[in-house]
Amino acid sequence: MSFAELGLEPRLLTAIESKGYTVPSPIQEKAIPAILAGDDVMAAAQTGTGKTAAFTLPLLQLLAKGQRAKANQVRALVLTPTRELAAQVAESVATYGTDLPLSSAVVFGGVKINPQMIRLRRGADVLVATPGRLMDLYQQNAVKFSQLEVLILDEADRMLDMGFIHDLKRIMSFLPQNRQNLMFSATFADQIRQLAKGLMNNPVEINVSPANSTAPSVKQWLCPVDKKQKPALLQELIISNNWGQVLVFCRTKHGCNKLVKWLLGGGISADAIHGNKSQGARTRALSQFKAGEVKVLVATDIAARGLDIDQLPQVVNFDLPNIAEDYVHRIGRTGRASQTGQAISLVCADEIEFLESIEHLLQRHLEREYVPGFEPSHELPPSQDIHPPKHRKPKKPKLKSQLSDMVAPNKRKPQGGNRRRAPSKRPAR
């Protein structure tokens, strides 16, 4: 199937061709027609499968047919959990919409708010935003939503993991309910899936890969090692294998800084990207890493969310994540679009529970390989046998409360005695 067969207009097809794409990915093939048809869409797709273009392309085509955004107004709102992902989505909107008479803007924290307020005075057909900065702008009357047609939640699972639930509830409360809703995510846990369905009107559900799956083109293995030997082992792997580009994950910001200092002391160019870094420093580190000026980029999970790096050959888990799903997101940085790559985890005995949780999620054991000279004195215990996952029903009372607040935040139970509330009707889209 070609992009033209999906119903995209010639100006978009030209932009796609200029990017070198010829065949749509599975998520694009399924999502684009549904979005063009005006359906609400809830899609789960593995990282690196082209999900940003899957909603950007049809969104631009739909908006090109309507009236342009007026002053301070927004016609399509894309919410993302991190600055980096917001910048990436905004870049895709600008690239694919280059021949369309549409305007776009991106707003996030970590930079001055005044230039963003000035930009929004002209209105934006597409606004890409992080929840916190969007709330700030709304409270200062810098952005309005009476023209809103489409709401997109990108990486919705991460937004809830990061504690944006209250910001999301407030944002939903001032958006018009007559809108198209799209939700895209690398994975959907059962609780997030239920929450998402409650926000939408009969959504088309798309799942192009098994939940929490990893790309088959990525070789995954772990190296047992004592905790104190991890920096030296990483340095040995980089030098002995002549790695030219490595993305390394640490659990904490302090751990990132400490590891970068170690690598620099060993003559290996490295930089860190995490929440304590200014937006300028984060952008500069990523640009230098992509350009090959920095060999090792050390990141936390939150900071690395949404990083788009072509042909990244190696991902190293210096620390295992304490949330198993984050392992899938981490190694999704390599092996994109069926390219080959490898994910190496440096695992000490203290991390056995994290390892077992990851292997249970993947439903397989990770291969263990020892590096001569770095055999641990505290041996990593064997992993427990893997059993099929148990499917548990979500806790309905809590979900029901959250959903009622997010779908209709202005509706409250009437006060006083036995007054009965008339049955509510879901507004037509």
User: Which alpha helices (H) appear in 246-384, and where do they start and end?
Assistant: 253-265, 279-290, 301-304, 324-331, 352-362
Instruction: Tell me the average pLDDT across 34-56.
Output: 86
The answer to whether the beta carbons of residues 154 and 73 sit under 8 Å apart is no
pLDDT class of 397 with cuts at 50, 70, 90: very low
**Which domains, and CATH codes, for the chain?**
4-207 (3.40.50.300), 218-368 (3.40.50.300)
Tokens read off for 251: 């659990």
Q: Report the residue count for the chain.
A: 429
Give me the pLDDT at residue 168, please.
87
68: CB partners within 8 A, 6+ apart: 101, 102, 103, 123, 125
For residue 406, what pLDDT band results from cuts at 50, 70 and 90? Answer: very low
**What's the rounded Cα separation, in Å, for the pair 286 and 67?**
37
pTM: 0.64
- Calculate what percentage of the chain has a pLDDT beyond 70: 81
Query: For 337-363, what is each residue's pLDDT tens digit?
Result: 556 789 999 999 999 999 999 998 888
Q: What is the pLDDT of residue 56?
A: 96
Q: What is the pLDDT of residue 224?
A: 96
Beta 341-347 vs 314-317: how paired, if at all? parallel
Which pLDDT does position 205 carry in this prediction? 87
Query: How high is the pLDDT of residue 246?
Result: 93
**pLDDT tens profile 184-214:** 877 666 656 666 666 888 889 888 755 555 5
Query: Strands across the sheet with 246-249, in order?
Result: 270-273, 296-299, 246-249, 314-317, 341-347, 218-224, 367-368
Strands (E), 4-44: 41-44
